[in-house]
Structure 1
């Protein structure tokens, strides 16, 4: 069992910044990763189309079934994904061949929607519904169940945990009795999946329903149905469609094997992918660890509530897990909910008509339900009990995390590195990113980038040295190699008299020598090249993942999907406006890539956003386009522009692109590489890379933010020194990412960096 890190889980849950959330049993707060998964797929659908996006995500969609099966102790064939637990319940129950007089045994813990459907089945088929009596501890009376099973029974159904309390039914014992009698058991696991360990196959449960929105922390609109192989042989879906059946002859169909026979074709793919992310997050520490933490915290909540005057706990003796129910003297539960919500504490009330067989039996008209999860901690318990103890209106909740030492805008390589360096030095950091992690709208996505020491102007040499050291430091912190040295060749027409690249240990070579260095690159005699033995390939995707995880681990408060509306100086600090509210900090770092001009008006006229496209080209002999036969390269092609490329690396095919492109609007979604754009690059690949004889196997578009003379702007704004920028990377900024992040941290924390004076924002457009 893995030990949970509640602080990290809390930091990764955006909703915990705005309230104390005790409603996991209603609709738990999703993590930032779940939110990003959903948004990213919706964006992909809007960009390339729903069917096309489904093809891209097919493997991840399939993995959701396997993940759900791991959670419940079955196989992927046992799982059907549905829009809700109620849809799953209906699909299962409507497939049972009920006949008049069939007996259904139901626990008093049954949910309202289940009970209503049972009544409908009684109206339709004439079945008999028998509500099982309860033992003194509130659970199903097992002796009464055993006795009831002596006569023919069509189905037994119980709720593992009801909606109206923290009761935990003895599923193993109920399943054993049902199995011994040869009667199927349908388990309502809606309130247990994600907070209680469940192994349906081992228990002998035939059918089970669950939802994504509760303790699994998945999106609303997701659910699942578990159907064992044994029960699937007996059930046929009442409303089959193309998802679960095959039109096998002109006048007939056959039902597919497995539980997917209960699904329908159309569904929200983005939500199901979000459910997959939520399932991974639950399985990572394990439900045992989640149960241990949440049950312990719920126990402490019970103890704390017992000390509040006028509060009465209402859970039966067999309660356990993450749910606690109570009432307040002389106050309707709905009023208690409103009062607590005004104090920023979110609970809910359960009326008796949502659980008449339970609450009615116990003489309760309604209860307040508080349910904890992994993002809750002792401070939430204290806040809840303190708010309950106040009379009258409680003071408004002040969102946590509205103040930091530094706010970083942007989560590209520079913003990510700045956040990590700042947080690891002890600064409180709020990082704001307008898109989901892994988006393709800016300049830091993609698998690989190049790094080189060769630069046209010696003024860059010291920063290049810092870059290599910074990549080594990041690799060590990440525990993986992020820079692979291959050497690089950078070619230009021999007749061109203007200065080219130069740098430490670099040498100028002719086309013949270039062919010896990189046999995979074909240069004519009209070219000369600079060989840089220190050049190499950066694993950009791994670097971005590392920066995100390292920043969070160091304490950075990362907030994705948050757009910055504007900022203003606030004394010696800064106020930042977002749709979620106002944030304040001593320093602001703007590393917003193509959106920098919109956020920093003084730079707007100096920055130009352009569209850049890259293609990956296959090769029949991959070794000829991989290191050492090929490394990073560029060729200044007369009449065309600067062609650049990277070798096949870590499973990705050879990558090439042109270092120029048309103007682009960053406020419009990035569009895929067109056939014409890919064809232009493929012609160049055939010319300079003879071994690149395959088709275009992948493509990606991105945005460069260009500045005069391809310079950067790194440092404080002249008129607002508490605001720092890292902007206008001009197509060659990724290689400096960790070094610029460290520099921004230095500057934000008061350390001078005279080595960066040549990149001062005030000099952009004027410096030589």
Structure 2
């Protein structure tokens, strides 16, 4: 028998987190806190797996295994070194559960045998024991916990003295909390009474010391996919001698036994008797690579680093109002669990994922013995690793704080949709009726760009249209007299313009039970206004605190829309927004911080700031799928009963007693309320404000860029740089089309005029700006244009049209309004329903009128 294997690599005292992040490609995709579920793989581990698969493809599976025999043998040595045992006491299996079942079945438990199980036991282990209790008559005794939440050692001792026991088992760290069981003390008690101790080290391998002799365990199982950072489908078990000689698998396999005669066989002399012949050798080599990384870093250094990192996280989360830590006092190691008051843990997980913060929610069904006595139905579980840095911690804590704050506000102001007296007499609209009228002769025509769907192909109407984000826009149905224009019909509200704000308002009004009609000048999804195109930015960074509340509302509104649509609409990438240092109107905002050019380059390696520039880093910034958002809002509006008429220009409107008369190219309609979201056509519909509005032509373009390089998602996110040419903004396209960028400047434009494609001069100006800050960007591959409707102060107009009671508007969104789409739609619906929105006073149209409110 060989001597126990020990690690010989040096043990560093500190970890180079930046170096580990460079070796971990997944760090570029978000903030990952799921090491207790499946940690991010190092690139070397991935390469080890792929290299062997290539060898199998070239040489065959058996031949490739022979070529890798030495490296496969090294996996046993590295595992043994981690556990402080002999290499022949280690078996490689497919998962921790597979190891558990083979070990426990080999104990040949009989009726009446007592198994003392800690409350930390994992669901699969508990279910196996309970099934054996029911089917084989064993007795499962669940050990109580002490005041610190760990196994009560005194009660364990009493149970051992009460009579013979066949097995003691505990999870070193449970799946449901950061508890660290006193494994060494449990093992010492079990050994004193001659009872085997089986330790489930699934959650502790790779993050806590797991020397089996020091822990006093005879049997150990674990997985590779968690803190060991190995591929899924890898696991291990270890059985120390002399117990190994007494155990035999119930179902011997050719890997672990030799068939010696007609009715005889011999077991392998070592722990490989528990293995199966068929195994994923590529995955095992990945496990070996991950183990080599752990030994290179030094297990003690990793243990100390993760424990300290999680302690900081636990302290910071515990200080967030509305957040309760769910870890018992005996917690430690790399796992932190918590709950947010008023929110299901699964909802917290979902909202965090929208912010690119990834972790899991653990239900009580995964740990009944632990969670039920503590009154926990579900917890949020965060787990750190060697690639977790301070930005990750900041992102998690800030996101949780936002979610908790929103939950508190919701609890204080429960949603109630109330109708006005006149609305109360109006029956909800029937299933959606879609109709079309002829476009006006003066309406310009265009071909939708590649990122806009064509509106020329009608799609059959259905009574219950899907809210799928990938389907076409709702299509119009022809008819001699539009059904929406029934004689004498009075709508609760008519919405003019079905871009992002109009479609959001239409949906909100319809879902509140109002009889509502949406009118669109052109075909749905057209590219003539301000809402077309594939993508838009979202950010929290704004120059004045007036915006903070609306920004927070917008983030929540997008999350709500995603939930309603069952579709992801926002991809959080983080953002950098740069300007010359010392500007008095610099961006700021909740969770944002200022960074210099060097730090900006570390955050977004693809972006280079000009000399003398600083930036604001907004970790919650990201990209909205604009085209999908429009489809979703219109579909949900129809589903709620809204009528939609596209290709129906509104020519005029006027008060009509307590109502509003709306004239269209197809004839008039009447409504109690009118909501104008006409974008660049607002000046013609609200002449009193025309002098305060400037319609501007804007050019955007896609530049060739390698999506795997510094100008792809791994090296760049949402950005803007305030250059002399104008505000340059952009982000990597998520569909592989390169880099999208635009300049927030352009000439005044008549929205009724024809719209030519981007000129050579316009693209040259944009290309020069891109070259200044985005080295490596290639040539322009395609371009598109849009129209901004601007105010001098670049603040929106949201509220009642001055001098026109019953007429509301949302306009002049000045190039930054798309991100607020669902929130502005809800605000307009509130105003239609006469619910006060004082938070919007700073956007009131009356501020532009002399003597108006501000």
TM-score normalised per structure 2: 0.48
Flag the 1:125–1:582 CA change in 2: closer, same or farther, 3 A: closer
Question: Cα distance, 1:584 vs. partner?
Answer: 7.3
**Counterpart-to-counterpart distance in 1, 2:46 and 2:106:** 34
Counterpart for residue 231 of structure 2: 219
SS of 1:361's equivalent? helix
Q: Deviations over 1:71-102 (max 9, x none)?
A: 11111111000000000000100101211100
Q: How does 1:310-709 map to 2 (within 5 A)?
A: 310-390=322-402, 391=406, 393=555, 396=570, 398-399=572-573, 575-578=705-708
Match of 2:419 in 1: none
Instruction: State the shift of 1:165 in Å.
Output: 0.3
User: Tell me, what secondary structure is at the counterpart of 1:247?
Assistant: strand
In structure 1, C-alpha distance between the alignment counterparts of 2:286 and 2:24, rounded to whole Å: 14
Structure-2 change in CA distance of 1:166 and 1:93 (3 Å): same
Cα distance between partner residues in 1 of 2:375 and 2:707? 50
> Structure 1's 89 and 304: CA in aligned 2 closer, same or farther, altered over 3 A?
same
Corresponding residue for 1:690?
A: none
**Cα distance between partner residues in 2 of 1:355 and 1:364:** 10
Residue matched to 1:81: 92
Separation in structure 2 between the aligned mates of residue 380 and residue 24 of structure 1, nearest angstrom? 13
In structure 2, C-alpha distance between the alignment counterparts of 1:401 and 1:268, rounded to whole Å: 41
User: How many angstroms does 1:124 deviate by?
Assistant: 2.7
Provide closer, same or farther for how the CA distance between residues 23 and 429 of structure 1 changes in structure 2, counting only shifts above 3 A.
closer
Task: Give the C-alpha shift of residue 347 in structure 1.
Answer: 1.1
Query: Which of 1 and 2 has higher RCO (CA within 8 Å, sep 6+)?
Result: 1
Give the Å deviation of 1:219. Answer: 0.2
Deviation string for 1:239-290 (max 9, x for gaps)? 1111000011232100011110000000100000000000011111222111
Does residue 305 of the first structure (1) align with residue 317 of the second (2)?
yes
Partner of 2:144: 133
Mapped contact 1:215–1:373 kept (Cα < 8 A): yes
SS at match of 1:33: helix
Q: For residue 35 of structure 1, report the CA deviation from its aligned partner.
A: 0.8
Indicate whether 1:18 and 2:35 are aligned.
no
- The partner residue of 1:31 within 38, 42, 57 is 42
1:273 and 2:273 matched: no
Structure 1 residue aligned with 2:158: 147
Q: Verify the 8 A CA contact 1:402 1:582 in the aligned structure 2.
A: no
2:253 to 241, 266, 271: 241
- Provide the rounded CA distance (Å) in 1 between the counterparts of 2:135 and 2:46: 41
- For residues 399 and 246 of structure 1, the distance between their equivalents in structure 2, rounded to whole angstroms, comes to 56
Q: What is the distance in 2 between the residues matched to 1:42 and 1:383?
A: 37
Aligned ranges 1:166-245 → 2 under 5 Å: 166-245=178-257
Paired with 2:130 and 2:322, the residues of 1 have a C-alpha distance of 38
What secondary structure does 2:106 align onto? coil
Alignment CA distance shift 1:138-1:372 (3 Å): same
Q: 1:400 to 1:230 in 2, by over 3 A?
A: farther
Check conservation: 1:576, 1:584, Cα contact below 8 A: no
> 2: CA distance between counterparts of 1:133 and 1:292?
29
Cα distance change, pair 129–428 in 1 and its aligned pair in 2 (3 A): closer
Q: Distance in 1 between matches of 2:124 and 2:116?
A: 16
Q: Distance in 1 between matches of 2:19 and 2:602?
A: 17
- Separation in structure 2 between the aligned mates of residue 296 and residue 239 of structure 1, nearest angstrom: 44
Distance between the aligned counterparts of 1:289 and 1:582, measured in 2?
32
> Separation in 2 of the partners of 1:257 and 1:401?
59
Cα gap change, 1:380/1:430 in structure 2, threshold over 3 Å: closer, same or farther? closer
Aligned to 1:368, the other structure's residue is in SS state: strand
CA–CA separation in structure 1 for the residues paired with 2:354 and 2:160: 50
Looking at structure 2, the residues matched to 427 and 341 of structure 1 have their Cα atoms a distance apart, in angstroms, of 23
Measure how far apart 1:723 and its partner are.
8.6
Corresponding position of 2:536: none
Deviation at 1:307, TM superposition (A): 2.2
Residue in 1 aligned with 2:63? Answer: 52
Q: Does the 8 Å CA contact 1:25/1:323 hold for their aligned counterparts?
A: yes
Partners in 2 of 1:205 and 1:583 — Cα distance? 44
Distance between the aligned counterparts of 2:389 and 2:603, measured in 1?
20
Q: Decide which moves more: 161-170 or 301-310.
A: 301-310
| CA distance 1:362–1:250, change in 2 (3 Å) | same
Residues 722/161 of structure 1: CA separation in 2 closer, same or farther (3 Å cut)? closer
Give the conservation status (yes or no) of the 8 Å contact 1:573–1:722. Answer: no
Does the CA contact (< 8 Å) of 1:18 and 1:400 recur in 2?
no
CA contact (8 A) 2:705 2:777 kept: no
How far apart are residue 372 of structure 1 and its match?
0.5
Shift of 1:203: 2.9
Question: Which deviations, in whole Å up to 9, do the C-alpha atoms of 1:522-573 show, x marking residues without a partner?
Answer: xxxxxxxxxxxxxxxxxxxxxxxxxxxxxxxxxxxxxxxxxxxxxxxx9998
Q: Secondary structure at the match of 2:221?
A: strand
TM-superposed CA distance for 1:44, in Å, is 1.2
Post-superposition offset of 1:123: 2.3
Q: Counterparts of 2:285 and 2:127 in 1: how far apart (Å)?
A: 31
Per-residue deviation at 1:400?
Answer: 7.1
Take 1:360 and 1:259, find their aligned partners in 2: how far apart are those partners?
37
Change (3 A) 1:337 1:157: same
Cα shift readout 1:116-146 (whole Å, capped 9, x = no counterpart):
0001111232100000011100111111111
- Provide the secondary structure at the position in 2 that maps to 1:367: strand
Query: Of 306, 311, 314, which aligns to 1:294?
Result: 306
State how far apart, in whole Å, the 2-side matches of 1:197 and 1:333 are. Answer: 30
Q: Number of residues paired by the alignment? A: 433
2:715, 2:303 → 1: CA distance? 37
Question: 1 CA distance for matches of 2:701 and 2:171?
Answer: 58
| Corresponding residue to 2:110 among 99, 105, 109 | 99
Hey, what's the Cα distance between the residues in 2 that align with 1:429 and 1:319? 36
Task: Quickly say closer, same or farther: Cα 1:427–1:333, change in 2 above 3 A.
Answer: closer
Instruction: Point out the structure with max Rg over C-alpha.
Output: 2
CA distance in structure 2 between the aligned counterparts of 1:81 and 1:273, rounded to whole angstroms = 11
1:42-73 CA-to-partner distances (Å, cap 9, x unmatched) read 11111211111111111100100000000111
| Cα distance in 2 for residues equivalent to 1:147 and 1:398 | 54
Q: How far did 1:402 drift?
A: 12
Task: Report the Cα distance in structure 2 between the residues aligned to 1:289 and 1:70, rounded to whole angstroms.
Answer: 16
CA distance in 2, matches of 1:427, 1:140: 46
Distance 1:91 1:274 in 2: 23
